[in-house]
Amino acid sequence: MSSKFIKIDKKINYFNKIIKVDGDKSLSIRWALLASQAIGNSKAFNLLKSEDTINTLKCLKKLGIKIKLSKKFCQIEGRGINGFLFKKNLILNSGNSGTLGRLLLPLLIKSPYKIKIVGDKSLSKRDFSRVIKPLKNMGVNFYPQNKKNLPIFIKGSKYLRPIKYIENRGSAQCKSCVMLAALNIPGETSITAKKSRNHTELLFKNLKIPMKIIKKKKYDFIKIIKPKSINSFNLKIPGDISSSAFFIVLTLLTKNSKLLIKNININPSRLGVIKILNKMGAKIKLFNIKKINNEKCADIFVKSVKNLKGINCPSNLNSSAIDEFLIIFLVAAKAKGISYFKNLSELNQKESPRLKIGSKILNMIGVKVISNKNSIKIYGNPNLKLNKNYVIKNFLKDHRVFMMSVISALSLGGTWKIYNPESVKTSFPSFLKIISKLGAKIN
Ligand code: S3P
């Protein structure tokens, strides 16, 4: 186990800056996977160059896809739907990425050979039965039978059938898995999906894949007919709102500070963090709103706020803020009054059990918390100031636990030893560079 750590023993001074964050992870992985199924050369600009996307490219290369990665763009030479060069004894490594693991499987459902899918320690603990079940219903084979997590073997079938799938968790990964499988399934696949991020739908629309969507308040009804082929396509990838969230909160909690974050994807299905923080008293504003490849983008402006207040967070915002709750909990700890977040059991299914770890960290810094498997009540304290020693270790190298801890240290004080700084490489390699740019001192 790596024993690397960083030390922070000084709060950050006020700042007034303009920053950019790395490209959106969900879009980067989806572009690469879909480009591999298109015919000919597709290019992505501002692709996130993190371990999760690099692992995506490595898996595609092993499947016979040619890829050029330069400073300016990434080019993928797609081989068409089901054009992979399947070989015997293939092992594909998803590393830390649930999105890669769960979105790659549906592209392998015609493999004539068994393919082994592996992941790191964190990913190997996570539930894959949620995607194995619908794929099995389509006729795909998995070995060992009834295994729910990685490593696992997948073997395709010649006799795949369309299914009617109900997605009840609000999981975009499950929905997208079935959508991608539909590219290989004869006839019409239908999905009833609880609301979740809709990047796959928007990309399908760009690619003119035959699809109908009926949107209702809580669910979307999606029907997809297998396309004959997909044309190659280029994508400009905006910055990731999940990465921006850490800097939004650092600014909110640092006196007299202002921050402009340029060109961020503000897809409404990802905007929960802004809605929740604004309900808590933040005044986050969006400027320069435009659409690029059907995805809404904007510059985000945020300044520090004195009077943050607690929130009884409506559960219908959960899916649109699912990766931001750790950092939202930190704001709740500094807000006046009690905050309540419910129906959040999915948070324990992430890179680490985040509901559990989030409440542990708040507890450690002296914030009263009542939590169970599904919800958390945070008793906020606007006068929260820290002056003790804090160690953050053994969190399954969850990148978002690391980043939340750094923001806690820089905004609340105390002396912090935070392990596994390399964890940020999975989603946000520039994180510590930007932290330094804002003036923070880190050893
Ligand atoms: C993602 C969906 C979410 C999110 C993950 C990325 C995606 O997971 O937590 O970081 O790109 O589809 P779930 O779909 O499992 O909620």
Q: Supply the residues annotated as catalytic.
A: 323
Tell me if 171 CB under 6 Å of ligand 1.
Answer: yes
Which residue's CA is minimally distant from atom 5 of ligand 1? 99
How many C-beta neighbours within 10 Å does residue 289 have? 10
Q: How far is the CA of 173 from the centre of ligand 1 (A)?
A: 5
Work out the pLDDT band at 237, boundaries 50, 70, 90. very high
Which residue's CA is minimally distant from atom 9 of ligand 1? 323
Tell me if 320 CB under 6 Å of ligand 1.
Answer: no
- Give the separation between CA 79 and CA 70, rounded to whole angstroms: 21
How many C-beta neighbours within 10 Å does residue 161 have? 12
Tell me if 420 CB under 6 Å of ligand 1.
Answer: no
Q: What is the CA radius of gyration of the chain?
A: 22
Ligand 1 pocket: which of 24, 25, 26 to mutate (most atoms within 8 A of CB): 26
Tell me if 197 CB under 6 Å of ligand 1.
Answer: yes
- Give the separation between CA 103 and CA 136, rounded to whole angstroms: 15
Tell me if 296 CB under 6 Å of ligand 1.
Answer: no
What are the distances in angstroms from CA 308 to CA 142, 330, 333, 337, 405? Answer: 49, 11, 10, 9, 20
Which residue's CA is minimally distant from atom 11 of ligand 1? 26
Q: Please, what is the average pLDDT of the chain?
A: 97
Q: How far is the CA of 94 from the centre of ligand 1 (A)?
A: 14
Report the atom number in ligand 1 closest to the C-alpha of 30: 11
Work out the pLDDT band at 1, boundaries 50, 70, 90. very low
Report the atom number in ligand 1 closest to the C-alpha of 171: 14
Ligand 1 pocket: which of 97, 220, 322 to mutate (most atoms within 8 A of CB): 322
Tell me if 26 CB under 6 Å of ligand 1.
Answer: yes
- Give the separation between CA 254 and CA 232, rounded to whole angstroms: 45
Contact between 189 and 165 under an 8 Å Cβ cutoff? The reply is yes
168-222: pLDDT as tens digits:
999 999 999 999 999 999 999 999 999 999 999 999 999 999 999 999 999 999 9
56-91: pLDDT as tens digits:
999 999 999 999 999 999 999 999 999 999 999 999
- Give the separation between CA 190 and CA 187, rounded to whole angstroms: 10
pLDDT at 132: 98
Give the residue among 163, 166, 89, 177 at the shortest CA–CA distance from 127: 177
pLDDT at 443: 86
315-327: pLDDT as tens digits:
999 999 999 999 9
Find the mean pLDDT for residues 247-266.
98
Q: How far is the CA of 342 from the centre of ligand 1 (A)?
A: 18
pLDDT surpasses 80 at 246: yes
Furthest-apart CA atoms within the chain: distance in Å: 64
Report the atom number in ligand 1 closest to the C-alpha of 322: 9
- Annotate 8-18 with b (16+ C-beta within 10 A) or e (fewer): beebbeebeee
Tokens 């510590």 found at: 432
Tell me if 176 CB under 6 Å of ligand 1.
Answer: yes
Report the atom number in ligand 1 closest to the C-alpha of 25: 11
Contact between 345 and 322 under an 8 Å Cβ cutoff? The reply is no
Report the atom number in ligand 1 closest to the C-alpha of 197: 12
Q: How far is residue 408 CA from its own chain's centroid?
A: 21
pLDDT surpasses 60 at 2: no
